[in-house]
Homo-oligomer: A and B are copies of this chain.
Amino acid sequence: MSDFEPRPDTCYPKTERSRIRREHHLGSYERADVHAILDASPLCHIGYVIDGAPFVTPTLHWRKGNRVYWHGSVGSRFLRQVDGAPVCVTCSLMDGYVLARSALNHAVNYRSAMLFGTAHVVDSLDEKAEALRDFTDDLFPGRWDSLRPMTEKEVKATSVLWMEVEEATVKVRTGPPNDADESDVPVWAGVLPMRTMLTTAQPAPELPTSIGLPDLLATLIASGRLR
């Protein structure tokens, strides 16, 4: 596929910032594709510019419609300085190494989404508490109501940020190496798949033995999903 025009009804716009320059056949501007990677990825990497220099911090994120949220401590330099600033949120899931007959054709199977927007700090305590509830229940449905309620002090100590997704792209590579035409080279070629999974839950040492693993967590672990 050559450099295509995204459909305005289902896609994020193609702009100078978001235009896919390389390997168009792996790319998409589809909102559904972007959201799928965002929702499958346990963490994201957020890029900020501070005094002209780049900073990349890993954090958990959550999505509500076209907004992406993340949180942090009110003491963080990033969170205090980025209100109103452009940010780039990238989620990457690595699915395997692709080994080919030539170095050039080696590749990675992956799913990645790169999102652009403007960071905003949530000011209202009520909105912050609601966002943190969304965060918790998005990862572990229903958990919020079972917890010791958050205190006002705790809500005040937490920063919540969000951005409207203005532009976004995804790239996805799957499948075997692309050099079947060189199969006369006598070297192993194929894919080493990589998989991330939740393993056996470890109860806290002091947890009363009467409290078993909730069904929802057992289901999450068994699902093969990460969130």
Contacts and interface: CB of A to CB of B under 8 A. Distances in A.
A214 interface: yes
- Chain copies in the assembly? 2
Contacts of A47: 45, 47, 54-56, 88
Given A45-B56, A47-B56, A88-B56, A22 B73 contact: yes
A195 B196 contact: yes
Contacts of A60: 108
Contacts of A65: none
Contacts of A146: 187
Interface in A106-159: 106, 108, 110, 112, 114, 116, 132-133, 135-136, 139-140, 143-144, 146-150, 154, 157-158
Contacts of A108: 43, 60
Given A47-B47, A108-B60, A188-B207, A148 B54 contact: no
A203 interface: yes
Contacts of A185: 147-148
Interface string A66-104: 000000010111000000001111101010110101111
28 contacts: A21-B75, A21-B77, A22-B73, A43-B94, A45-B58, A47-B47, A47-B55, A49-B53, A56-B114, A58-B110, A94-B196, A97-B198, A99-B140, A99-B143, A102-B148, A103-B136, A103-B144, A103-B147, A148-B185, A176-B205, A177-B204, A180-B205, A183-B206, A186-B208, A187-B211, A188-B211, A190-B207, A196-B196
